[in-house]
Structure 1
């Protein structure tokens, strides 16, 4: 049934509603902070927890480990979603944050590869899986818990405050990591200082637990419990009946997958690209991203508010369209403004690898000369073409007019430098306002789709199976399509030899999300969510 939105939109926020928003949002902030610390330290983790000898392989392994936490999120969604629909939103909501906090502290206490060998990456993966499992129940719980008591005409605005925590979590992680780096020399940070951001989360965990103890159970859940309308089998009911399953599939292949690739591109891969491909200093990248995040922050609330007035569907679909159309131009522009010397080098000194016996190996050191050459070029942020050897030829790399025989790194680097390549981006040539604007633009797309999305997900499913039904497709779509994005895009770039080739991954996913969304996503902003 349609709900009038005029009266609720005029009244002020009550004290109870403000407490609900702060408690839900602060807990979610901790969840995102814990996850983003790892993203901010992915380069450091590649040297601490994985075998040395191949920087590209170590980085990919570190990114894959980061993505592993998202792969198990659907399992957490099913487990905690069922609990949330059976025993209540509040207690399930509490369990997820405790589990997340314990896993994060565990990462901060983990011995490095140098001390315990392969057990180090194994334990790291296990803790990342535990984090992902907890987050699988957190997102759906937070959205459900906050949306159900919200006024109908302000549901988008209220829940968009929850969505801002992703930005605040990343911003907090950047601030803590940067402060830790600046407080000590690089050797000390590499040795033990990297642990501080993880251990600091203990204080945030205590505050989050305290705030959540002050919350009462969702009135919607209480009403269903008193009326005896709780679902006895929310998983079977949510995914075994077509009237519910069709919305699960629609959400999975539209808004959930769309928000995943928008999120992964704007929040994560832009950082990876600037640091590892364009060779901009990590602290500089963090500063640019922090500025962009601060400037984007109000847009989550703006798009949430706007979705209460004109609807949620077309705002979210517009974000997918813009990402599909502008991703390649934006990343080419990042090269132009962040490292113009690299752009000139790539145009004037094309690189060609003449070799056979090339392999793509994720967790092993390069075995052949071709593997070593490609690993070095990829780690240097250099695009290249690979052509097969002709009869009687030996392995060579052509850099502009210079030919380098064999795979010696010093010879390759000398030839690159002679052709105009630089080990690091020249700070004096970086157009900081342009870089910040481009990073801001990518995250504005996220605000467009993520701001209204919590309200949309809650409105899409009936209350008795809501926690379970919305959690699974969200984490399948955002986790499997989106959160593996930094690894998938980087791996595609390494395999193809083109630093921009992997960007077709988010473009294609965003395009599919747009088509499915336009055709099948219903408008939900006037739905009654009490039933």
Structure 2
């Protein structure tokens, strides 16, 4: 290197340091590891899963009776426009979900998860129940679809804090080694809600004429939200606050009483700046999972009846059979993720979605019931790869103090796009006549899933970010303590290596500085 040549190298930024674990004495000891009471854990999972089941009960019912809602609330339109309009009413509430996510996320981080989940289930049950009360277009004219939209908007606002809050509630209660298995029951509740909603629709259609179903039968499933909501509210009110949130409050109270009374707020802009990578991973995973979810479980009943000309009851029965199969696969994926990790399932599911979408739709459009079932069930297993790990993966991305706010905001930003899936798919197929467009749509989404899997960090069998380990027994707590010490030792070694790199970079900068000085006649 000549004397007049300056080095161009710049020091690379140091990697993000692992979050510190709050402890009572400063040193991580056995008493810092929380042993979860089994009865409290069961209450927490039941309370969270039932509320989520009710949310997806409504989504399932809405998808399965979309043809009826189109005729009741948009009677002057053509059948195709009726279907698109009904599914559009399903999609519009997703636009307000980020507002609900921000609102309930801030409340959840300030006042606790349990209180917010009690609020969301009340709003959700009331708005769903009110859909069943809305008069038809023939009775009150344009006010009917407007009221339907208002109920769906309230629903969307409440759901904005529902899934993320329930996922956090379960994750913060689950022992580290069982978080995947226990978290999988949250989406088990989602699928069960779909099955229940579809089953109610099939039962009603088999017991009454189409005229009676269009007249009043479609309202019955929405009325069921009333008692389901009361049961869910009771369970959530009986559940205690999560150990992780209570631990944060205790730590803040120990540091300064004012911190508890004036809990710090952090804007989404600050969250995005500091936690941009977890936010992108969250958005990618939610997009991949929910677009597949809505395509398979919300849009496909309409696709089978409207585009493939199956009777509504036959299409619904096929979807019900697929979802029952998903119920058996769901906890198996969750259990396996505790052993093999979450990341392999996200990657495998994304690659499978890319490879299998066209073959599966080839089976679906074949016109043979057996082949239709095989095509849908293969896609359902791919979906299980995502739903089986999502509830345990997402809460682990953020620390306790901002977990609800960050997760609810990023989750519901992605949901805006995912929620448009039934409407976009219906419009594309109707306008082009190409029955394979939903498959192309899924293939595009699979690329997002692959990128997400590549960039996400493995969280299986590890404590939630910034929280002490959670165990199901004293024996397990001792084993987790040893593992925690090993991770701390590895962390020290990694930081030592980074410090050595930084020293080399500092020396290079000092050399560069001296070169500048040497070139200037008046600098020492």
TM-score (norm 1): 0.77
Quick one: distance in 2 between partners of 1:142 and 1:326?
32
Is 1:524 paired with 2:466? no
- 1:150 aligns with 174
- 1:269 aligns with 299
- 2:240 aligns with 216
Is 1:71 paired with 2:95? yes
Superposition map of 1:166-205 within 5 A: 166-205=190-229
TM-superposed deviation, 1:164: 0.5
SS of the equivalent of 1:217 reads: coil
- 1:371 aligns with none
Task: Check 1:201–1:314 CA distance in 2 against 1; reply closer, same or farther (3 A cut).
Answer: same
Task: Check 1:497–1:34 CA distance in 2 against 1; reply closer, same or farther (3 A cut).
Answer: closer
Q: Which moved more, 1:12-21 or 1:179-188?
A: 12-21
- 1:12-52 deviation per Cα after TM superposition (whole angstroms, max 9, x unaligned): 98222222212221121112112221111111011111142
- 1:303 aligns with 333
- 1:480 aligns with 416
User: Is the Cα contact below 8 Å between 2:128 and 2:155 reproduced in 1?
Assistant: yes
* Matching residue within 223, 237, 246 for 2:277: 246
- 2:185 aligns with 161
Task: Check 1:240–1:145 CA distance in 2 against 1; reply closer, same or farther (3 A cut).
Answer: closer
Q: Which moved more, 1:461-470 or 1:68-77?
A: 68-77
SS of the equivalent of 2:274 reads: helix
Quick one: distance in 1 between partners of 2:370 and 2:41?
38
Quick one: distance in 1 between partners of 2:403 and 2:285?
17
- 2:65 aligns with 41
User: Is the Cα contact below 8 Å between 1:159 and 1:304 reproduced in 2?
Assistant: yes
- 2:387 aligns with 450
- 1:481-504 deviation per Cα after TM superposition (whole angstroms, max 9, x unaligned): 322111111111223232323432
User: Is the Cα contact below 8 Å between 1:461 and 1:470 reproduced in 2?
Assistant: yes
Superposition map of 1:6-25 within 5 A: 14-25=38-49
User: Is the Cα contact below 8 Å between 1:65 and 1:125 reproduced in 2?
Assistant: yes
Q: Which moved more, 1:13-22 or 1:76-85?
A: 13-22
- 1:167-208 deviation per Cα after TM superposition (whole angstroms, max 9, x unaligned): 101100011111222222221111111111111221111111
TM-superposed deviation, 1:79: 0.8
User: Is the Cα contact below 8 Å between 1:248 and 1:473 reproduced in 2?
Assistant: yes
TM-superposed deviation, 1:235: 4.7
**Larger Rg, first or second structure (1 or 2):** 2
Is 1:96 paired with 2:120? yes
TM-superposed deviation, 1:226: 2.2
User: Is the Cα contact below 8 Å between 2:329 and 2:384 reproduced in 1?
Assistant: yes
- Unaligned runs of at least 5 residues, structure 2: 1-17, 22-34, 253-258, 468-524
Quick one: distance in 2 between partners of 1:501 and 1:178?
28
Quick one: distance in 1 between partners of 2:425 and 2:358?
12
Quick one: distance in 2 between partners of 1:239 and 1:143?
23
- 1:306-359 deviation per Cα after TM superposition (whole angstroms, max 9, x unaligned): 1111111120122122112222221121111xx2xxxxxxxxxxxxxxxxxxxx
- 1:462 aligns with 399
Q: Which moved more, 1:11-20 or 1:59-68?
A: 11-20
* Matching residue within 356, 359, 374 for 1:326: 356
TM-score (norm 2): 0.78
- 1:282 aligns with 312
- 2:429 aligns with 493
SS of the equivalent of 1:202 reads: helix
- 1:217-255 deviation per Cα after TM superposition (whole angstroms, max 9, x unaligned): 112111211222679454516744523133112321x21
Task: Check 1:333–1:239 CA distance in 2 against 1; reply closer, same or farther (3 A cut).
Answer: farther
Quick one: distance in 1 between partners of 2:282 and 2:80?
35
Task: Check 1:235–1:282 CA distance in 2 against 1; reply closer, same or farther (3 A cut).
Answer: farther
- Unaligned runs of at least 5 residues, structure 1: 4-10, 340-430
SS of the equivalent of 2:232 reads: helix
- 2:487 aligns with none
Task: Check 1:443–1:251 CA distance in 2 against 1; reply closer, same or farther (3 A cut).
Answer: same
SS of the equivalent of 1:227 reads: helix
Q: Which moved more, 1:503-512 or 1:93-102?
A: 503-512
Displaced runs of 4 or more, over 6 A: none
TM-superposed deviation, 1:448: 0.5
User: Is the Cα contact below 8 Å between 1:235 and 1:469 reproduced in 2?
Assistant: no
Quick one: distance in 2 between partners of 1:194 and 1:250?
39
Task: Check 1:234–1:446 CA distance in 2 against 1; reply closer, same or farther (3 A cut).
Answer: farther
Quick one: distance in 1 between partners of 2:272 and 2:76?
51
TM-superposed deviation, 1:513: 2.9
* Matching residue within 250, 260, 267 for 1:236: 267
Quick one: distance in 2 between partners of 1:66 and 1:173?
15
- 1:393 aligns with none
- 2:54 aligns with 30
- 1:135-163 deviation per Cα after TM superposition (whole angstroms, max 9, x unaligned): 11010110111111211000011110111
